[in-house]
Structure 1
Amino acid sequence: MADDKSGRDKQAHDEERRQREREIATELERGDEAEPPVDASALASFETALESVPFPATGAEIVSAVGDREIASTGGAYAVAELLPDADEETFDSPAAVGTRVQRPTVAAAMKRVVEAVARLPNAETSRSQREAYERTFRALAEVDGDDDDEGIDAIADWIVERTAETERVPGSRDVRRQAAKFCRENGYEVRDDEWLGV
């Protein structure tokens, strides 16, 4: 493809189309999940508050703009700064992308810890697909041990953060899934081979 304006426009359009397809696929995968703990009207109000933020925006930019704003969920109220990473390593494309992240506060808090741990390393980073895989693992853990105060999410977030600090490398998404499956089995939860955690 030629490196001219029309070629760059086509590449940008193709990337936007692929991103929309990924978002649709993610929503279809989430179709059989339990209802998220943040009410849709609270999320809509929060997304409206984000209109002053120019997107795409980093987690740090969003926290700077609306970090003290609270989001009510079935488990209590959370400040945005508790749910989004105060780092430039993760970028959100739209208010809806931010809303998707914060609608599951325990998952969002775990992702915040992971992204901030990676940001502390001089040469480490995670790709968008790797962060999406981590988030999907945390959501799977929320479904597995929903009655245990998300103990699995905390345990795997701890493992990722500790492993990142020890090795100065980010664990692969497959390693994280294996560790999550190990946690589930050690705590009496069944993990089938056809599930996300069944690596």
Structure 2
Amino acid sequence: MADDKSGRDKQARDEERRQREREISAELERGDEVEPPVDTSELAYFETALDAVTFPATGAAIVSAVGDREIESAVGTYAVADLVPDAEAETFDSPAAVRARIQRPTIAAAMKRIVEASDPLPNRELSASQREAYVRTFRALEAIDGDDDDEGITVMADWIVEKIRDDEKIPGSRDVRREAAKYCRKHGYEVRDDEWLGV
């Protein structure tokens, strides 16, 4: 492409088009998400309780400081110790990171079980991308399984914990997505190839 006004204009238009496509794609992904069941005012009140904790802090330090504090959600009441792993392998950079974790209690409880199961392993830490993939898989299950008390999330957390104990390693995100897709199809939910679980 020539480096003249016409070429630069075309490059700018192409970049604007790609940016719009990315924004539309991101909005479509967010549009399918289920609203977090914990009220934001409840989370803000909880975040002030974390003032006593020095960040970055491990999950064990947070549980020690505020583990007995209860969080009200649309589906029930949870103690912080039920949602944050009591483990050294999990580190939170700020109160906002803890808040983000507990705003979806079912997913937080599943991730707590996974982190605590992996804590005794020599290479126990979940990478940020692997953690995000697990959470994204749980959100996909939450979205399709909204009427069944998030049974899919519980089933997948059980499967991951069992794999950690049997194989003594953390299963890859692709294996988790593949197993979640099997669960969905077994229970009559369609999983398209262009969806997150469609591996």
If the TM-score is normalised by the length of the shorter chain, which range does it land in?
0.7 to 0.9
Q: What is the one-letter code of the residue matched to 1:183? A: Y
CA contact (8 A) 2:191 2:198 kept: yes
1:71 counterpart SS class: strand
Aligned residues: 174
> 5+ unaligned residues in a row in structure 2: which ranges?
1-25
Normalized against structure 2, the TM-score is what?
0.83
For residue 27 of structure 1, report the CA deviation from its aligned partner. 9.9
Normalized against structure 1, the TM-score is what?
0.83
Residues 1:65 and 2:60 aligned together: no
Counterpart residue number, 2:187: 187
How far, CA to CA, are the matches of 1:195 and 1:43 in structure 2?
31
Counterpart residue number, 1:79: 79
How far, CA to CA, are the matches of 2:84 and 2:63 in structure 1?
7
Distance 1:27 1:45, change over 3 A: farther
Q: What is the one-letter code of the residue matched to 1:178? A: R
Counterpart residue number, 1:92: 92
For residue 165 of structure 1, report the CA deviation from its aligned partner. 0.5
Give per-residue Cα distances to partners, 1:56-104, cap 9 Å, x unaligned. 1111111111000000001110000000100011111111111111011
Q: How well do the aligned residues superpose, as a CA RMSD in angstroms?
A: 1.7
For residue 192 of structure 1, report the CA deviation from its aligned partner. 1.4
1:184 counterpart SS class: helix
For residue 129 of structure 1, report the CA deviation from its aligned partner. 1.5
Counterpart residue number, 1:54: 54
Residues 1:106 and 2:84 aligned together: no
Aligned pairs for 1:1-199 within 5 A: 30=30, 32-199=32-199
For residue 31 of structure 1, report the CA deviation from its aligned partner. 5.3
Distance 1:91 1:29, change over 3 A: farther
> 5+ unaligned residues in a row in structure 1: which ranges?
1-25
Give per-residue Cα distances to partners, 1:105-133, cap 9 Å, x unaligned. 00000000000000022343321221111
1:78 counterpart SS class: strand
Larger radius of gyration: 2
1:72 counterpart SS class: strand
